[in-house]
Amino acid sequence: MSTAKLPLLIQSDGTIMLEDGHPGAESARELLREIAELKKRPGDWHTYRVTPVSLWNAAAAGWTGETMMERLNELARYGVPAALEKEIRDVAGRYGSLRLKDRGSELELKVRDSLLLEELLACRGLDACWLGAPDGLSVGVRKEARGWLKRELIALGYPVVDEAGYRSGEALPVRLLAEDGTGRRIRLRDYQEEAVEAFASGRTGAGGSGVVVLPCGAGKTWVGMGALARLQCETLILTSSTVSVSQWIRELRRSTSLDEDAIGEYTGDRKEVKPVTVATYQLLTHRKSKGGSYPHWKLLSDRNWGLIIYDEVHLLPAPVFRMTADLQATRRLGLTATLVREDGREGDVFALIGPKRYDAPWRSMELMGWIAKPSCTEVRVPLTPHGVARYREAPKRQKHRIAGENPLKLAAVRRLLSRHPKQPTLIIGQYLDQLNEVAQGLSLPVITGNTPQTERQRLFDRFNRGEISVLAVSKVANFAIDLPDASIAIQISGSFGSRQEEAQRLGRILRPKQSGAGVYFYTLISDETDEVEFARKRQRFLLEQGYEYEVDWLKEEALAAEEAGT
């Protein structure tokens, strides 16, 4: 094959670009899934990054520097830069140089070469971990230092292969049901089963802790339940919001053989500690004063947990890492859509939760219809002549609101709703006045931060049952709300340039629909205003994730006429 036809462009800083439409792209994608992190996939070229953690993840899955280089050289259009080759070999070669083993009442760190052992023993910060003098190429380690030592060593650039084993935890007979209460058949999808197997056994036979990476909407909860059913032990599930706690509990009740009594909720509202307990990170890390203790940490030791599941592991707060350092004898499963953390602490995830055990092939999942591919449209709405004058004269800080509350957006919403009659639709807005006006103008129920929780739930339930097809929601919709059938989102205004908000709002409609219907994400933008640029910034994250935006311009006259007609 001519090198010109090879699919990878490899940079010396570890950036790797993959030509998505290339005949050899699938094979290259398979390789990169193992040894690199996907950074973005806009258009024809997808960008990955090789990092120390990604290389150690690959090494944990059985790759060596040599095998990685061999494959990269086969696929690189312009070769692999020497500096990167050196880094790959060096970094990957460090995996396996340190192994932690159980030695009865203590642990033992086995080191591959004496120079490295000398270097480690010379690190004064590690003194407290050691038990006695080294014996040949190994040294005793205090049991309680297991997590802390691993974290310190990875910070020094040396990952530890933890072979010290796990406690079983309290046994808990549990299985996935054959069908749920509505008669829907329950069966893990192939990739979910593979993920459970990879976590529990590991590809090199050393499973029991690690991270499963699945795209949004691919059913991470199912993998968690699958692991629970596989390990049959009491389990603590930590997640990012109370809504997510409710979602976990609902799925556990609906799809597993667990009694209601066996499932507990540990949130601000309820403090139940049951054989399977679902809690939020926020509560776990809550304390009364900045320097005070964490009163809810006792949850971790209240029961003999056999498994801890960390949902959305890329959002795991720093104090939870500290807690986790003390829980290294417990099996740990991390679930996430991305290993990339905004705070750059991927090394801590590797050291304390474990290496990546499974990373789903998102492309084939898209093809199989396991994850929805939305159609994203930016709808440009003109300002009225009066709006233009107001906008121009307004001070800079008010411009965004004037653009956001553009009254012609109501006509635009009406037009979009007429395109998708009776489809479950969310209208999401930043400004309450605007949201209320739209709700009033279209006779829609509205949920804001002021709506009581019971009323919210009532409306969510009605929406889920199909009794309401359109719901107006404020920024409460940015966070996890469980409206699995929503297939259309129309955002009428948003904060300045929050890429996270754009992704969260889109996430509301990403779960695959049983009806097989397509999903549509509309963003209304006042044309020729700052909102255009803010929208561009918001959209960049989604463009990088491979979503395409179309732009649709609406004419002022037509909208005005429509409004007059109503």
Partner 1 sequence: MTGGDGGRSRGMEMLRWLLRRYGAMPFAEAEAAVLASEELSPLRTPAELRVAMLGLRRDGVLLAARNRWGDRTLYLPAEELAAWHSLLFAAVPEPLPFGERIVTAEGPARCPGPRGRAPLSRQLLRTWADLRRRGGLPLTANGALHRARAAKLAEAMELAPQELAPLLGAAAADDAAIQAALFLAIELGSELGVLGRTVGAIEAGSGDGWSGFDGTMEELDALLHSLLVRHYAPGDPGLHFAALSLGRLEPNRWYLERETREAFGMTERQPGRAGWDAWLRAAACFGWMEFGRRGEEETIRWTVRPHVGVPGKPGELSVPSGSSVPGVADVPERPVVYVQSDLEIIVPPEVGFGMRWRLEEIAERIALDHVSTYRLTRASCENAVRLGLRPERIAETLREAAGHALPAAATGAIEDWLRDVRTGEQAEAAGHTLRRSAWLAGPLLLLPRPEPLRDCEPDGSVPSRDELFPGLAAVPPAWLAQTRRYHASTRKDMAELALAWRTSLRIEPDGGGGYSFIPESLERLGESWSLVGRVRDAANGDVAAEAVAADSVMSARGTDRVALSVDSLGAIRLELPPEPRREL
Question: Is 502 an interacting residue with respect to partner 1 (CB under 8 A)?
Answer: no
Question: Is 42 an interacting residue with respect to partner 1 (CB under 8 A)?
Answer: yes
The distance of Cα 233 from the centroid of its chain, to the nearest Å, equals 25
518 is written with which tokens? 């397509």
Question: Is 157 an interacting residue with respect to partner 1 (CB under 8 A)?
Answer: no
Closest CA to 460 of 437, 483, 476: 483
Q: How far apart are CA 335 and CA 238, in angstroms?
A: 10
Using CA atoms of 196, 198, 201, 205 in order, give the dihedral in degrees to the nearest 10: 180
Nearer to partner 1, 241 or 498 (CB): 498
Q: Are residues 526 and 390 in contact, defined by beta-carbon separation less than 8 angstroms? A: no
Q: Are residues 169 and 306 in contact, defined by beta-carbon separation less than 8 angstroms? A: yes
Nearer to partner 1, 321 or 549 (CB): 549
Question: Is 1 an interacting residue with respect to partner 1 (CB under 8 A)?
Answer: no
Question: Is 528 an interacting residue with respect to partner 1 (CB under 8 A)?
Answer: yes
Question: Is 11 an interacting residue with respect to partner 1 (CB under 8 A)?
Answer: yes
Nearer to partner 1, 81 or 319 (CB): 81
Nearer to partner 1, 41 or 296 (CB): 41
Q: How far apart are CA 76 and CA 249, in angstroms?
A: 47
Rule CB under 8 A: choose which of 23, 43, 173, 295 binds partner 1. 43
Q: Are residues 211 and 313 in contact, defined by beta-carbon separation less than 8 angstroms? A: yes
Rule CB under 8 A: choose which of 34, 85, 152, 312 binds partner 1. 85
Q: How far apart are CA 481 and CA 508, in angstroms?
A: 7
Q: Are residues 121 and 85 in contact, defined by beta-carbon separation less than 8 angstroms? A: no
Q: How far apart are CA 448 and CA 181, in angstroms?
A: 32
Q: Are residues 287 and 293 in contact, defined by beta-carbon separation less than 8 angstroms? A: yes
467 is written with which tokens? 């009794």
Question: Is 49 an interacting residue with respect to partner 1 (CB under 8 A)?
Answer: no
Question: Is 68 an interacting residue with respect to partner 1 (CB under 8 A)?
Answer: no
Q: How far apart are CA 546 and CA 42, in angstroms?
A: 5
- # of chain residues touching partner 1 (CB under 8 A): 40
Question: Is 393 an interacting residue with respect to partner 1 (CB under 8 A)?
Answer: no
Nearer to partner 1, 302 or 393 (CB): 393
Question: Is 326 an interacting residue with respect to partner 1 (CB under 8 A)?
Answer: no
Closest CA to 237 of 161, 146, 154, 172: 172
Binding mask 303-322 for partner 1 (x = CB under 8 A): --------------------
Q: 208 to 267, contacts with partner 1 by CB under 8 A?
A: none
Question: Is 67 an interacting residue with respect to partner 1 (CB under 8 A)?
Answer: no
Q: Are residues 226 and 176 in contact, defined by beta-carbon separation less than 8 angstroms? A: yes
SS3 category, 243: helix
Question: Is 550 an interacting residue with respect to partner 1 (CB under 8 A)?
Answer: yes
Starting at the earlier edge strand, list the strands of the sheet with 8-10.
8-10, 15-19, 45-49, 37-40
Q: How far apart are CA 340 and CA 315, in angstroms?
A: 10
Nearer to partner 1, 4 or 115 (CB): 4
Question: Is 89 an interacting residue with respect to partner 1 (CB under 8 A)?
Answer: yes
Question: Is 12 an interacting residue with respect to partner 1 (CB under 8 A)?
Answer: yes
Find the part of the chain contacting partner 1 (CB under 8 A) among 24-32, 114-122, 339-347, 532-540: 532-540
Rule CB under 8 A: choose which of 17, 177, 315, 394 binds partner 1. 17
SS3 category, 168: coil
Question: Is 504 an interacting residue with respect to partner 1 (CB under 8 A)?
Answer: no
- H helices of 316-431, in order, are 318-325, 346-348, 362-368, 385-393, 396-404, 408-419
Starting at the earlier edge strand, list the strands of the sheet with 307-310.
263-266, 276-280, 235-239, 307-310, 331-336, 209-213, 356-359
Q: CB count, 10 Å around CB of 553?
A: 10
Find the part of the chain contacting partner 1 (CB under 8 A) among 76-84, 140-148, 179-187, 488-496: 76-84
Q: What is the chain's length?
A: 566
Find the part of the chain contacting partner 1 (CB under 8 A) among 81-89, 239-247, 418-426, 478-486: 81-89
Find the part of the chain contacting partner 1 (CB under 8 A) among 324-332, 367-375, 497-505, 545-553: 545-553
Residue 93 C-beta: closest distance to partner 1, Å: 11
Nearer to partner 1, 45 or 130 (CB): 45
Find the part of the chain contacting partner 1 (CB under 8 A) among 122-130, 277-285, 352-360, 529-537: 529-537
Rule CB under 8 A: choose which of 31, 55, 84, 337 binds partner 1. 84
Find the part of the chain contacting partner 1 (CB under 8 A) among 235-243, 286-294, 479-487, 546-554: 546-554
Nearer to partner 1, 110 or 499 (CB): 499
- Which residues here bind partner 1, judged by CB under 8 A? 2-4, 9-13, 15, 17, 40, 42-45, 73, 76-87, 89, 528, 532-533, 536, 540, 543-544, 548-551
